[in-house]
Structure formats: structure tokens, C-alpha cells
Amino acid sequence: MGTRDQLVESTRELLWERGYVGTSPKAIQRRAGAGQGSMYHHFAGKKDLALAAVRRTAEELLAAADAQLRSPGTAVERITAYLRREREVLRGCPIGRLTQDPDIVADPVLRAPVDETFAHLRARLAEVLGEGRDAGELPATLDPTALAATIVAVLQGGYVLARAADSPEPFDQAVSGVLALLAAH
Amino acid sequence: MGTRDQLVESTRELLWERGYVGTSPKAIQRRAGAGQGSMYHHFAGKKDLALAAVRRTAEELLAAADAQLRSPGTAVERITAYLRREREVLRGCPIGRLTQDPDIVADPVLRAPVDETFAHLRARLAEVLGEGRDAGELPATLDPTALAATIVAVLQGGYVLARAADSPEPFDQAVSGVLALLAAH
């Protein structure tokens, strides 16, 4: 891995572990094994590095979601596969956790990739839910856009509950609850 | 307000705005208008102050939830009132945001009041959902414990989506989606 990539990877790890406020340029350099001169050769600063890191994480997250949501099967099967896929629940979501970072939400440039990731994910889920509705799997009265927000919220809130409990159990329960509601139709 | 209370209130505000990692003892003293000697007279340090602050916030949050959940009405009406009550959505949840704080989740003493708050809230919701099931409002096959986790997750995840979008809209959509699923039974 080149120095530039090593810097981005180290920033991704530190953002996930410590958040933006808790990550210093010095900590990034230390983790990447890169000097200050090398960091400022590749990036204008911590913000520029964070943007590259968040964009790469967002791409991976959306590709992983597409793997389940674009697979064969009914809408409910695909959403079940997406919600039930293996996750590092106690680490939380590398994108969702950034919304608790005051310096990220206060900065439109840093917030943009976080916002776009969730908007993209919600649109993809709404598409699948719309297909399920058109196929008669889900009631015609359900609003795919609202329900897509509910499903992403269950995941993000499930991470919050799991980290509070130091156990993946409430995450699994939250997912079971929404799937039971979907299946009951 | 006495100095002790002023220190606790300032810590509550800073934890909500900046998180635990982003809050220094000096920032607490500055906001409270208290000296270092006064702070260490009342509290052993930042951790001790944070514990008092989190406990007070947790008490308020549970009392506010009980106001809707113990009011008259059917189970679905009470849960709707709870989910729809006025909230400062873009500020997020003062308890939920702490789960993204690495120093809070890594410390069993600091994590305990966060864990207890969500456990208490989920138990209270499961009770209301159980009453709804027994009254025939909700299907007998639904698991109140799982569904309670779903509802708390929708709120917590709704805050995440709203902060990402810098708009309360996805929070409202997530709530609408889960209420539509509940009402469809």
C-alpha cells in the first residue's frame, strides 16, 4: 500500500474508533507510519483526509448493501438478507457514528458524504419496497419512502442499543421486530 | 442554582454538544463559572461529574417517556403519542449519542446508566405492547420484547438520519413507517 492509501486507511480506522473530534493529525501519522511532511504532501489537512476516508467507507457500505438488495428473491427476502447479514454490531456503523460528531455535522462539506450515503441507501431500499408493493407482497397503502427510512433507522438505532448494552442482543431484537411486522402482512 | 448543580448542568450541556471525549474539565469550569478548586471540592473529576450528569439526564428522559406511555388510551395510541411528541430532533438524544463515545462504552461505570436507561425504556414499551396484544389490538404472534427494541431503535436511528440530513424529515418518515406497520394490524 502506498503512503497515500496508508494515510486514508489509518484515518478510516481512527474515525471509526475515536471519531473526528477524537482524532488528531499526529495520531493519523503515527498509525500510518508517515511523517508530517508526507501527510501534508498528499492532503491539505485532517479535514481533507477525513473526506477521502469517509468517501471510501461510504462506497464500501453501499456496495455491501447492493450485494443483498440486488440479489434474487422477493422484496422481503432481500431486505431480510440485508438486515441479517453478518455485521460487527458492537463497533457500530462507521458512517452513522459520524452524525454524533459535532465538527462533522456543523461542516456542510464533511456532512455531505454522510448525508449522501443515507439518501442513497434509503432510495435503494424504497425501490425494493416499491417492487414488493407492486408484486402484492406488501400492502398497497404502505409508503415505500417512509418504510425505507424506518428500516435504515432500525439498523442505526440497533447499533446504538447494542453499544449501550455491550451486547448484539438488542440489535438482533430490533431487526426481528421490524421483520415480524413486515412478514405479518 | 448552587455551584454543584451549575457544574452538573454545564456538564450535561457539554456532553450533549461535544460528547465526553470532546469535553475538558476546563470547559466545564468555564461554562459553569466555577474554579478548579470548586469543581474538585464537589467532584472527584470529569468522570464523576459525567456520571452525575448522565444520571440526571436519564431520569428526565424516562419521566418524559412515562408521561406518554402511562397516559390513557390504547397501546397504539400511547406509543403514537410517545413517538410523535415534540423533540429537538437535530440535537439528537443526549443518552443515545453517548454510545458513540469510545471512552463511555469502554468504561463499565460510565456505560451503566446509558445501558440502564435503554433497558428501562424497552421494558416499559414491552409492557405497553403486551397490554395491546392482550387487548387484541396487536397480533398474538408479535413478541413485545423484540418490538420494543424496534421502536427504541427507530427513534435512535431516526436521530442519526436527521443529523445526517440536517433535517427532521427522515426522523418523521422513520416514525411514520413503523406506525403504519403497527396500524396495519
pLDDT tens digit sequence for A6-44: 999 999 999 999 999 889 999 999 999 999 999 999 999
C-beta separation of B157 from B174 below 8 A: yes
The pLDDT value recorded for residue A127 is 97
Q: What is the pLDDT of residues A69-101, one digit of tens each?
A: 999 999 999 999 999 998 999 999 999 999 999
Residue B22: inside a domain: no
Residue B185 has pLDDT above 80, yes or no: no
Best mutation target among A57, A87, A150, A179 (most B Cβ atoms within 10 Å) is: A150
Residues of B in contact with A126 (CB under 8 A): none
Compute how many other C-beta atoms are within 10 angstroms of the C-beta atom of residue A132.
23
The answer to whether the Cβ–Cβ distance between B111 and A170 falls below 8 Å is: no
Nearest-by-Cβ selection for A153 from B118, B143, B161: B161
CA A80 to chain B, closest CA, distance in angstroms equals 15
The pLDDT value recorded for residue A63 is 96
Chain B residue with CA closest to A181: the answer is B181
Find the CATH number of the domain harbouring A86.
1.10.357.10
Residue B77: inside a domain: yes
Q: What is the pLDDT of residues B174-184, one digit of tens each?
A: 999 999 999 87
The pLDDT value recorded for residue A7 is 97
- Whether B142 and chain A come into contact, CB under 8 Å, resolves to yes
Residue A11: inside a domain: no
Domain span at B134: 55-183
Locate cell 501519522: which residue? A29
The pLDDT value recorded for residue A40 is 95
Residue B40: inside a domain: no
Residue A185 has pLDDT above 80, yes or no: no
Task: Please count the structural domains in chain B.
Answer: 1
From CA B42, how far away is CA B4, in angstroms rounded?
Answer: 6
Residues of B in contact with A105 (CB under 8 A): 163-164, 166
Which of these, B13, B144, B36, B20, lies nearest to B88 by C-alpha position? Answer: B13
C-beta separation of B57 from B12 below 8 A: yes
CA A100 to chain B, closest CA, distance in angstroms equals 6
Plot region of B45 (φ>0 → left; ψ -120 to 50 → alpha; else → beta): left
Nearest-by-Cβ selection for B157 from A17, A154, A163: A154
Residue A5: inside a domain: no
Residue B29 has pLDDT above 80, yes or no: yes
Q: What is the pLDDT of residues B138-156, one digit of tens each?
A: 989 899 999 999 999 999 9
Chain-centre distance of CA B116, in angstroms? 11
The pLDDT value recorded for residue B1 is 82
Q: How many CB pairs under 8 A join A and B?
A: 212
Residue A33: inside a domain: no
Residue B43: inside a domain: no
Residue A9: inside a domain: no
Plot region of A166 (φ>0 → left; ψ -120 to 50 → alpha; else → beta): left
